[in-house]
């Protein structure tokens, strides 16, 4: 395909598994003021004068097609954010979740009374619109990212891991009620979000879904999730699916036992992956969504191995691995597996985004990777 596409055209076609002029790239999860300043070609002082402008400049250098709501570090020495520390939940018992569940309404009509659509619309626009405008000014497509619409699994963020997991065992009906309540609310939130896709001309994809797994597998049994968790999410997603919007689920840890459940629920693709947990995207690509589609992949430069500790060839090998696993980049959008830490050399990121442009969509490489190349080249680091 010789005709150059707009970024929106390229992304839209990639989401639909159609041929593109080159494989699109997403961004937005790069940490470290110094790293971002180096990519942008500016000083730290220039970065700190206008962090948002600087992060956008860095992404223009990387030539991304699409950005999540940006991570914009504003502290030169900041290492990470969003960490859930169990010590901050000391003294919280599983009974706290049961007591909360007992305060919740029992019918959808009562839940609906608690939802203020106008208030939610205003709150959503307050954080979405500045990103949409800034990206448009920089000719970058906004990636719709609504974590809450992918389910309310991570109750550990409110009560801690220990209390949450114990409550799943001791008070499963209480956990079920909390999830039902949250998912019912989010169904109404989705009705507010859905019209924004046409209003802002967003690509037909939504990124969502919090962690349900760790490196050992699902945090609770897949059967527990099938009974209490996934059904409510299906109700949230269906209106989006009906409008042709495909939903991509974030995947940390060993997600293999639940990926088919994700697809059965209405998700059409996956983002992430911790390949050191034996997650093989070539195997995931053999699965099919409810609509019979080959999954979409926002894949997935390793932020735990390749990017921080590899060299340029390791980075190129990993992109080739994703390219091979998706039959020449079909349905693939390159992204990082998670937020890159301050230890990631900026040169590795610049190598990744520039090398991607050299790959021809649908091509067959002469020696395709059969498994994650990092494990082949660095088996001692798994």
Q: Which two tokens stand for residue 158?
A: 């409110």
d(CA 70, CA 52): 8
pLDDT at 17 over 60: yes
pLDDT at 220 over 90: yes
pLDDT at 71 over 80: yes
Question: How confident is the model over 281-297, as pLDDT tens digits?
Answer: 999 999 998 889 999 99
Give the number of other CB atoms < 10 A from CB of residue 107: 9
Per-residue model confidence (pLDDT) at position 88: 86
Q: Is residue 250 part of a domain?
A: yes
pLDDT at 81 over 80: no
Per-position b or e across 67-77, b if 16+ CB within 10 A of its CB: bbbbbebeeee
Per-residue model confidence (pLDDT) at position 83: 62
Strands, sheet with 26-27, edge to edge from the N-terminal-most edge strand = 26-27, 66-67, 141-142
Question: How confident is the model over 155-207, as pLDDT tens digits?
Answer: 999 999 999 999 999 999 999 999 999 999 999 999 999 999 999 999 999 99
Q: Is residue 116 part of a domain?
A: yes
pLDDT at 87 over 90: no
For residue 166, what is the domain's CATH number? 3.20.20.210
Average pLDDT over all residues of the chain: 95
Q: Is residue 319 part of a domain?
A: yes
Question: How confident is the model over 113-125, as pLDDT tens digits?
Answer: 999 999 999 999 9
Q: What percent of the chain has pLDDT over 70?
A: 98
Kind and range of the H or E run holding 359: none
- Please report which confidence band the pLDDT of residue 338 belongs to, taking 50, 70 and 90 as the band edges: very high
pLDDT at 340 over 90: yes
Q: Is residue 63 part of a domain?
A: yes
Q: Is residue 2 part of a domain?
A: no
CA end-to-end distance (rounded Å), the chain: 39
Question: How many domains does one find in the chain?
Answer: 1
Per-residue model confidence (pLDDT) at position 82: 58
CB 205 within 8 A of CB 150: no
- Please report which confidence band the pLDDT of residue 2 belongs to, taking 50, 70 and 90 as the band edges: low
Per-residue model confidence (pLDDT) at position 109: 98
pLDDT at 1 over 70: no
Question: How confident is the model over 18-51, as pLDDT tens digits?
Answer: 999 999 999 999 999 999 999 999 999 999 999 9
CB 253 within 8 A of CB 273: no
Q: Is residue 172 part of a domain?
A: yes
Secondary structure (DSSP) of 70-133? PP---STT--------GGGGTT--THHHHHHHHTS-SSHHHHHHT--HHHHHHHHHHHHHHHHH
Domain range for residue 316? Answer: 7-381
Per-residue model confidence (pLDDT) at position 79: 73
pTM for this predicted structure: 0.94
Q: Is residue 1 part of a domain?
A: no
Question: How confident is the model over 129-149, as pLDDT tens digits?
Answer: 999 999 999 999 999 999 999
Question: How confident is the model over 250-265, as pLDDT tens digits?
Answer: 999 999 999 999 999 9
Question: How confident is the model over 269-278, as pLDDT tens digits?
Answer: 999 999 999 9
């Amino acid at each position: 395909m010789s005709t150059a596409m707009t970024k929106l055209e390229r992304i839209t076609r990639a989401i639909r598994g159609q041929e593109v002029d080159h494989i699109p790239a997403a961004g937005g999860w790069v940490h470290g003021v110094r790293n971002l300043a180096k990519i942008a070609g500016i000083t730290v002082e220039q970065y700190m004068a206008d962090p948002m402008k600087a992060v956008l400049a860095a992404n223009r250098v990387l030539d991304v097609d699409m950005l999540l709501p940006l991570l914009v570090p504003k502290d030169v020495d900041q290492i990470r954010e969003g960490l859930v520390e169990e010590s901050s939940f000391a003294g919280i018992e599983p009974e706290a979740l049961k007591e909360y569940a007992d305060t919740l309404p029992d019918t959808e009509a009562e839940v609906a009374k608690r939802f203020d659509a106008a208030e939610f619309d205003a709150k959503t626009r307050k954080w979405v619109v500045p990103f949409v405008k800034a990206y448009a000014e920089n000719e970058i497509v906004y990636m719709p990212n609504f974590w809450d619409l992918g389910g309310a699994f991570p109750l550990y963020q409110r009560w801690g891991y220990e209390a949450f997991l114990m409550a799943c065992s001791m008070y499963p009906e209480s956990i079920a009620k909390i999830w039902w309540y949250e998912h019912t609310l989010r169904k109404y939130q989705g009705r507010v979000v859905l019209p924004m896709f046409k209003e802002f001309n967003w690509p037909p994809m939504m990124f969502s879904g919090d962690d349900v797994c760790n490196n050992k597998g699902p945090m609770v049994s897949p059967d527990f999730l099938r009974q209490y968790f996934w059904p409510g999410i299906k109700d949230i997603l269906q209106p989006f699916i009906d409008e042709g919007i495909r939903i991509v689920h974030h995947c940390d840890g060993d997600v293999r036992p639940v990926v088919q459940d994700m697809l059965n629920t209405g998700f059409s693709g996956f983002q992430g992956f911790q390949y050191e947990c034996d997650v093989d995207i070539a195997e995931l690509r053999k699965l099919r969504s409810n609509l019979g589609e080959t999954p979409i992949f926002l894949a997935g430069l390793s932020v735990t191995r390749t990017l921080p500790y590899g060299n340029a060839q390791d980075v190129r090998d990993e992109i080739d691995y994703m390219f091979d696993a998706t039959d020449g980049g079909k349905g693939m959008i390159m992204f990082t597996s998670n937020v890159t830490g301050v230890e990631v050399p900026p040169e590795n990121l610049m190598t990744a985004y520039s090398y991607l442009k050299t790959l021809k969509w649908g091509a067959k490489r002469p020696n395709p990777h059969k498994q994650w190349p990092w494990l082949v080249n660095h088996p001692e680091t798994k």
